Structure formats: C-alpha cells, structure tokens
Amino acid sequence: MLSKPPGIEDIFPDRIGRRNLIVNAAREAFKLYNVREIVIPVMEFTEVFVRGLGNETDIVSKEMFTFEDRGGRSLTLRPEGTASVVRAYVENGEYNRLAMCKFFYIGPMFRAERPQKGRLRQFNQFGAEIFGSGDPFHDFEAIAMMDAIAKRAGIGDYTVLVNSIGCPNCRPDFVRALTAYYTGVKDLLCRDCASRLDRNPLRLLDCKQDSCQPLKKDAPRTVDYLCDECKSHHGSVKGYLTGGGIAFTEDPLLVRGLDYYTRTTFEFVTARLGGQNAFAAGGRYDNLVEEFGGKPTPAVGFAAGIERMEILLEGKEIPGGGIDVFIVHTGGETLAKAVALCGELRGAGISADMDPGSKGFKAQFKKADREGAAFAVVIGEDELAAGTCTVKDLKSGDQEAVGAGAIADFIRKKLA
RNA sequence: GUGGAUGUAGUUCAACGGUAGAGCCAUGGACUGUGGAUCCAUUCGUUGCGGGUUCGAAUCCCGUCAUCCACCCCA
C-alpha cells in the first residue's frame, strides 16, 4: 500500500469543522484589524530564507526541504511565512511605497524535523505582518490581534509572554554580558548549553534542563540592557497592553529562535501541548525589509500554528456539519421523483442527499441520521399517488404531508 | 540528529511458543413504509515488512520501516 511521508498528514472531514473554526476566527479578526490577505508562494529561492532567518538558525541549517530545480537553482519549501511576505513586499513597488501595509497569510509550512505532538513536517500557519511603523501601538496591535483570534476560536488558559530583546545598538552589550556570565559558570552548563554559548548565546536563557535553571537566576536580563529608545518602546507596548485589557506576563527569558527579531518578542503559551508550549509567537523586525533590499521599514508580525490550536480545541463540541434534507424513496418511479426533488432542493440552496440504490426505509433513515440531516423527505408509493411528500423533522420526529411542488419553500421556512 | 515506547480487523484492544478473538463501527434483520435505544446475525486479518531460532512464532532474536512520546528546535 502507498503511504505518505513521515510527519505529513491527511486531514479528513471530521477535523475540518475544528480547523474552520480557527481559520474563520483568524479571518474575522484580521478583517476587524484591517489586515488584508496575501498569498505567498510555497517555495522560494533558498536565499530568501537564509538571508531572512539567519544562517545559524536551526531552521536554516538543518530543517529545510531544499532541492535544485532543473536549472540548477536552489529552491526551498517555505519553513515559515515572514521571509516570503517581506520578499514579496520589497519586490512589489505598488505596496512598498504605501506608508503602511498590513498583510495576513494562511497556508502550509515545511520543516524537516522529527515529528511529535504538535510538531509536523508539513503544518499550517496563519500569520500577520505589519509594515511601515515602528510605533509601539503596532506591537500591541499584533498581540491584541492574536489574542482576539484565540478568544474567538474558544481557546482558554494560555499565557501571553512578552519581552524586549533590544536593537542592534543595545543587544551586543547584553550578549556580551550574557556570554561573560555564562563563561564564568561554563563547567556547570549542560552539553547543549555549552554549544549554545558559542553558537547562539541568547538561547542559553531558553534551556529546559533542570541543572541549568539555577544559573538563570543571576543571568543578565534583556530588559536591564535596553537603550533608552528600546526601553521607552518596551514600556509603551506594555502600557498599551494593560490599557487594552490584554493580560500578559513579562518574561525576560523569552528569546526567539530567528535572527530577525528586534525589540518586542512575544509568545502565546500553554501547558497542554506536551513538549511544545507555544501555539503562536512573533515580534518586531525593524531591519529585515532593509536586509532584503527594501528601504528601511520597521515591521512587526506573528505566526500561529493551526494544528497546535486544534489540539487546544480537542474535546470541544463543534456544531454544524449536517445536511438539510435526506430524501427517502422506494425505487422505480419514486426514484425518478426523488432525483428530481434532490436537484430542485440543491438548486434552491438547500443541501440535500439521497441513496439511489434500492434499500429499505430503515436503512435510508439510518443513513439520513448518520448524515446529520435536519429533515427526511419521503417519496413512496402513497405519496406518488397523492402528489405529496412526507416531510419528517428528524429532531422532533414530527412529520406532515406537503404538496410535491412546495417542498423547497416548506423546508426553507422550517430552517429559518 | 539523539533517546524511549509501540506496531494484531476500519477502530480500540485481547490471545503462556500450540486453531488469531472481543467491544465499537459497518451491513442486514427483529420492525413487510420510518433514524437515534435494545436484541440477534453477518462481513472484516498476508499479526507492518524481511530474515533467524523452533516440530511449531502474533509471541523469542536480529534487521528494517512506520507511529507515538521526549530531547533538540520551533508555530
């Protein structure tokens, strides 16, 4: 039997209701926040991600699906959305000359990781990017937007973590202090942290090893090293959040794995995702547009994992999914009538289905029930003779005869 | 990339080295024209795959693949 590659899944109808709930919540919120959809390519020249995310990041150095096209150019299946949106924005003269643009995207991302709970090789994200403003209001807006989406989707018990990792002016000071501190306690570090010290010192703060936890207590804090501008920016973001009624927790240990972030970083975390704890995250990236060859343009954005949000919605009743009408017949001439009625109802905007095979009433009603039909419409010998149909409300069990020509209207009224 | 666990019917799981089974689902019947409840019946398998040990392997061993979980990393 043929099978799918590891970490890639088929999503059958039973999961679609839950996904739509999430995606619709996102679309509604984006509309409310005046954020417009952009469809970005599923693959880019590899350079887009190398330049965008940073050569040293894990994503770029070992998690990308990269291959050569027929012309020998290196292409990569997108591991995230921001780099593509920035590339598209910079490349498109019509949009990048506007003072401000807000975009959102929805679609699959690809990372060659070992799959586990909440972590797939092909997974879906939606995300938003706000270009053209360095104002802390927009940092707030990004967080508030994601918060609104989570709430609309019905996700509870999560925490919003917020931090500032400074800018190119003040971050080097912090990294220097951090490196100095951890070099001093080098012997106490776990294996992974020893390599982080060289590779990516910021991530030392993110270590989950028990033995490394005590070391964090005295480690330098990002917020203590911020320059005046970053400090005031950070303060304003927090002020907006408090004013906007968004509960958040300051987390000086929050650093992100991508190189492009500046100043604000944030994560939406929960304890219900196993080894993974974030279902959405983002931050400010004021230098990326310029990095991509655009004019200096501050920006802020976030991305959310749809499958992770799905996990948080598990066990929740998702309404809907049933059809309006299932048509029951006895074959022969009644089958012809049933087919005609089925087409008529569908044409009238009423969802309808039937089984053309010759089955007993019982089997057909069973099927109507399983399909979640609101009504069963019976066309049998009796109805044929009388020129009527029997309409049964499957919830109440009530049924009544309705003239054959008036079914669509009758159903429509009942559904309203 | 590292580590651990697990692979048996559509699904959830049983079966001491000795005939592969049950619940759920599905299909049909009880109910000749009425679903959800109940009862009854029926269908369903190369025991993931490949080797090995054995008179005999779902069971033990080796390999492999897959899944899950954790690390790493990230949404």
Over residues A25-54, mean pLDDT = 96
Segment A134-178, tens digit of pLDDT = 999 999 999 999 999 999 999 988 999 999 999 989 988 998 898
In chain A, what percentage of residues exceed pLDDT 90? Answer: 65
The whole-number average pLDDT for the span A303-312 is 95
pLDDT, average across residues A1-10: 86
Residue A34 CB lies within 7 Å of the nucleic strand B:
no
Q: How confident is the model at residue A205 (pLDDT cuts 50, 70, 90)?
A: confident
As a whole number of angstroms, the distance between CA A234 and CA A162 comes to 9
Residues A354/A336, Cβ–Cβ less than 8 Å = no
Query: Strand B nucleotides below 7 A of a protein CB?
Result: 1-3, 26-29, 31-36, 66-75
Kindly report the number of other CB atoms within 10 A of residue A167's CB atom. Answer: 18
Rounded average pLDDT over A232-237: 97
Q: Is the CB of A172 under 7 A from strand B?
A: no
Tell me: pLDDT of A55 over 90.
Answer: no
Q: Residue A257 pLDDT > 80, yes or no?
A: no
Q: What is the CA A20 to C1' B22 distance in angstroms?
A: 37
State residue A291's pLDDT score.
93
Instruction: Look at A224-233, A253-262, A294-303, A361-370 and tell me which has the smallest mean pLDDT.
Output: A253-262
Q: Is the CB of A267 under 7 A from strand B?
A: yes
**pLDDT (0 to 100) of residue A65:** 94
On whether the CB atoms of residues A118 and A274 are closer than 8 A, the answer is yes
pLDDT level of residue A112 (50, 70, 90 thresholds): very high
Q: What is the pLDDT of residue A391?
A: 94
| Residues A391, A395, A398, A399, Cα dihedral to 10° | 10
Instruction: Give nearest nucleotide to A193 (CA–C1').
Output: B72
Residue A303 to residue A339: CA distance in whole angstroms: 47
> What band does A349 get if pLDDT is binned at 50, 70 and 90?
very high
* Confidence grade of residue A90 (pLDDT, cut at 50, 70, 90): very high
What is the residue-averaged pLDDT of chain A?
91
What tokens does A339 get? Answer: 């087919």
Residue with tokens 């990308």: A64
pLDDT in the model for residue A322: 85
ipTM for the assembly? 0.87
Name A residues 152-171 whose Cβ lies under 7 Å from strand B: none
The sheet that has A375-379: what strands, in order across it? Answer: A352-354, A325-329, A375-379, A388-393, A399-403
Structure tokens at A35: 């954020």
Sort residue A34 into left (φ over 0), alpha (ψ -120 to 50) or beta.
left
**CA-based radius of gyration for chain A:** 28
Query: What's the rounded mean pLDDT across residues A384-409?
Result: 91
Averaged pLDDT, A94-98:
93
Nearest to A152 by CA among A326, A41, A33: A33
Helix/strand/coil percentages in chain A, nearest 5: 45, 20, 35
- Per the listing, tokens 């690809």 go with A110
Confidence band, pLDDT 50/70/90 cuts, at residue A192? confident
Task: Return the H-helix or E-strand segment holding A65.
Answer: strand A65-68
The model's pTM: 0.91
> A262 φ, ψ to 5°?
-135, 150
Query: pLDDT for A327-343, tens place per residue?
Result: 999 888 999 999 999 99
Cα separation, A365 vs A347, in Å, equals 23
pLDDT score, position A276: 83
**Nucleotide B29 C1' to residue A370 CA (A):** 19
Identify the residues numbered 183 to 242 in chain A whose C-beta atom is closer than 7 Å to any atom of strand B.
Answer: 192, 196, 203, 206-209
| Confidence label for A204 from pLDDT (cuts 50, 70 and 90) | confident
